[in-house]
């Protein structure tokens, strides 16, 4: 199967990162593209695992030399998907998961029309705000900005191919897995099968001739 990009977007606090991490457990056919960002590292995060944490100068330099397949600003910080990261995972034959916001997703839709875009909705405004509130590392002003941004991001849901509601993590993960399963079976992604299908067709023709002759 021809591997593809699976874009997961949701308002901050929507739970897409948790879904992506859970989905990846024990699946060799999937890979997570570790983004670059200029935002400060949070407690518990690891450089190179959660993000590649870059200075603004370094991020700008990489933009200038074309190292990103998409990048966007979010809440005053820069975030981007590294071409190298995606190419490496594709070379390993994996479907690549991008956990990115809506402006970056638009760029991916344009440059990779066969990418699959999934929007993850929080079950309610109260849950979204509560999840954001758990990030004690952020100032109330930053949190308020994220909630305001969430309202703007929700308006983009109609641009996506699929929408799921994250009210139950296990159900949400299995919904995304089902989307991956179905998308992987698109004829356009099954180039290797085409030869096999032609062989099958010839056999059926021979079989038809045999029945007619017998
Ligand atoms: P956070 O700071 O909470 O980790 O991420 C803030 C937002 O940036 C989230 O919506 C997240 O999906 C998005 N984001 C993370 N990496 C990228 C990226 O590489 N590109 C874009 N466009 N957005 C990203």
Indicate which CATH number applies to the domain containing 21.
Answer: 3.40.50.300
What is the tally of structural domains in the chain? Answer: 1
Whether residue 112 lies inside any domain: the answer is yes
Q: What is the DSSP letter of 76?
A: T
Whether residue 204 lies inside any domain: the answer is no
Determine the Cα–Cα distance for residues 203 and 92; give it in Å rounded to an integer.
34
What residues make up the domain containing 162? 5-187
Whether residue 113 lies inside any domain: the answer is yes
**pLDDT, mean of residues 106-118:** 97
Better-scored residue on pLDDT, 55 or 188:
55
User: Three-class SS of residue 119?
Assistant: strand
Write the residue with the smallest CA distance to atom 7 of ligand 1.
Answer: 101
Whether residue 196 lies inside any domain: the answer is no
Whether residue 144 lies inside any domain: the answer is yes
- DSSP of 11-61: -TTSSHHHHHHHHHTT-TTEEE-PPEE-SPPPTT--BTTTBEE--HHHHHH
**pLDDT, mean of residues 68-87:** 97
pLDDT score of 136: 63
Whether residue 51 lies inside any domain: the answer is yes
**pLDDT, mean of residues 131-143:** 77
Whether residue 208 lies inside any domain: the answer is no
**pLDDT, mean of residues 204-208:** 96
Token pair 């590294």 is found at 82
What is the tens place of the pLDDT at every residue in 20-48?
A: 999 999 899 999 999 999 999 999 999 99
How many A from CA of 197 to the centre of ligand 1?
41
* Ligand 1 atom showing the smallest separation from residue 8 Cα: 12
pLDDT score of 147: 87
What is the tens place of the pLDDT at every residue in 140-175?
A: 888 888 888 899 999 999 999 999 999 999 999 999
Dihedral angle of Cα 58, 62, 63, 66, to the nearest 10 degrees: 180
Whether residue 22 lies inside any domain: the answer is yes
User: Average pLDDT of the chain?
Assistant: 93
Q: Which residues line ligand 1 (CB under 6 A)?
A: 12, 35, 39, 70, 72, 74, 79-81, 99-101, 103-104
pLDDT score of 146: 84
């Amino acid at each position: 199967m021809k591997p593809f990009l699976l874009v997961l977007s949701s308002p901050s606090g929507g739970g897409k990162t948790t879904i992506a991490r859970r989905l990846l457990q024990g699946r060799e056919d999937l890979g997570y593209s570790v983004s670059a960002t200029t935002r400060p590292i949070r407690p518990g995060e690891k450089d190179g695992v959660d993000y590649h944490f870059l200075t603004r100068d370094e991020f700008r330099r990489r933009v200038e030399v074309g190292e990103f397949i998409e990048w966007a600003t979010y809440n005053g910080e820069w975030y981007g998907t590294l071409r190298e990261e995606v190419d490496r995972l594709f070379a390993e034959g994996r479907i690549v998961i991008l956990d990115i916001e809506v402006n970056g997703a638009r760029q991916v839709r344009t440059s990779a029309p066969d990418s699959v875009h999934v929007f993850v909705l929080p079950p309610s405004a109260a849950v979204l705000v509560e999840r954001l509130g758990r990030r004690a590392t952020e100032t109330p002003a930053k949190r308020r900005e994220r909630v305001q941004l969430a309202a703007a991001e929700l308006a983009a849901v109609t641009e996506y191919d699929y929408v799921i509601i994250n009210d139950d993590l296990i159900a949400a993960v299995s919904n995304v897995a089902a989307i991956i399963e179905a998308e992987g079976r698109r004829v356009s992604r099954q180039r290797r099968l085409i030869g096999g299908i032609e062989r099958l067709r010839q056999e059926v023709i021979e079989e038809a001739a045999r029945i007619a002759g017998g």
